[in-house]
Every structure is written in structure tokens, then in C-alpha cells.
Amino acid sequence: PQYYVRCMSDSWMGAEAFLALSFHNLILPQRHPPHTELLDLDPLPLEALHQPDYIKLYQNKFTHFNAIQTQAFHTLFHTDHNVLLGAPTGSGKTISSELAMFRCFNEHPDMKVVYIAPLKALVKERIQDWRKNLCPILRKRMVELTGDFTPDMRALLASDIIVCTPE
């Protein structure tokens, strides 16, 4: 045995257990699991969205999705699979989240989208941007839910998008 575990009770006198453990055949995961390799894909054009309103949101900003958005596009826009997307600042995570929102709007129109941002400042940024662009074009109602601002229940029920902090 390589390790010994000894358990003692602080409430019962003489209550003690001793166990020898062997990790001889133990297989540990790699110290740092590798990230998903970025594939050498041709960038997807905006037309991959197949809906004029969605295309209108981006047509004055870019013509093709970037490499990260292209790689995640199918899963985000065409499936209901969970996605954890970790990427550097400015790499297109917000647009990727919008692709998942479009999936929800298309396939589950009676459901609400909850967008969680780590900071109130980022919530304010999303509220300003989406209130100016996304909400009018897609005819969606949005509400902010942070420690600073709590809407009434009627506003929450009437909204399509809830932008909040985790607190």
C-alpha cells in the first residue's frame, strides 16, 4: 500500500478506522486537459443564418463569422446541446451566444433566454446594445435583473430575454 487513511471520531472515544490504499493501477487524467483544436475551416458567411432579420443584425459589421464562431456554429444554431465556450476577450463569444439565442427563438419561441454576465457593467453593455439593435429588429422584449435593478414580476413574465448577473 502507498497510502493509509485513518479516520477518528472526535465525539466517540475509541471509534477509529484504518484503511490501506494502493494506487498501483490508478490512471490519472492529464495534468491540463487539452483545449479543442481550432479547425482550419472556411469562414461561414452570414447567409448561413437563413433568416433576413438575423442577417440584418450583422450585415454592417462583418460578412463572415470568425474561426471560433464558424467552428461552434452548427452546435449553437442547429442543436440544443450544452456548450461551454472559453475564448479570449474580443474573440466573438457574445455573437456565439446570440447564435444560441436564435436557436431558442426559432425552436422554442415560448421560452425565455437568460443571459448571465459576470459583471453589472457587462449587463449594462448588453442591455444598451441589444435594446438598440437586436430587440427592435427581432421584436423581442428584454429586461435587466441585477442587484441594482429588479423588475416587477409582470415585466419578467412579459420579457423574452432576461439579462442578469449571477448574484
pLDDT (mean) for 93-121:
96
- Between residues 22 and 112, the one the model is more confident about: 112
| 164 half-sphere exposure, CB direction, 13 A CA radius | 15
Nearest to 44, CA basis, from 24, 73, 15, 16: 73
Q: What is the pTM of this model?
A: 0.78
Nearest to 96, CA basis, from 136, 69, 124, 131: 69
Q: Tell me, what's the pLDDT at 159?
A: 96
Q: Tell me, what's the pLDDT at 165?
A: 93
Which residues have a Cβ under 8 Å from the Cβ of 137 and sit 6 or more positions away? 53, 56, 57
Listing DSSP states for 59-112 in one string gives: TTT-SB--HHHHHHHHHHHH----------TTSSHHHHHHHHHHHHHHH-TTSP
Strands 16-21 and 3-8: what pairing? antiparallel
- What's the mean per-residue pLDDT of the chain? 92
- Please tell me the least confidently modeled range out of 4-8, 33-37, 62-66, 153-157: 33-37
For residue 163, the SS3 value is strand
Distance CA 151, CA 148 (A): 10
Q: Side chain identity at 149, as an amino acid letter? A: F
Give the CA distances from residue 64 to residues 54, 57, 77, 94, in Å, rounded to whole numbers and listed in that order: 13, 13, 15, 15
- Summarised one tens digit per residue, pLDDT across range 114-133 is 999 999 999 999 999 999 99
Q: Side chain identity at 103, as an amino acid letter? A: R
pLDDT band (50, 70, 90) for residue 66: very high
Q: Is a pLDDT exceeding 70 seen at residue 152?
A: yes
- Between residues 18 and 73, the one the model is more confident about: 73
The widest CA-to-CA distance across the chain, in whole angstroms, is: 75
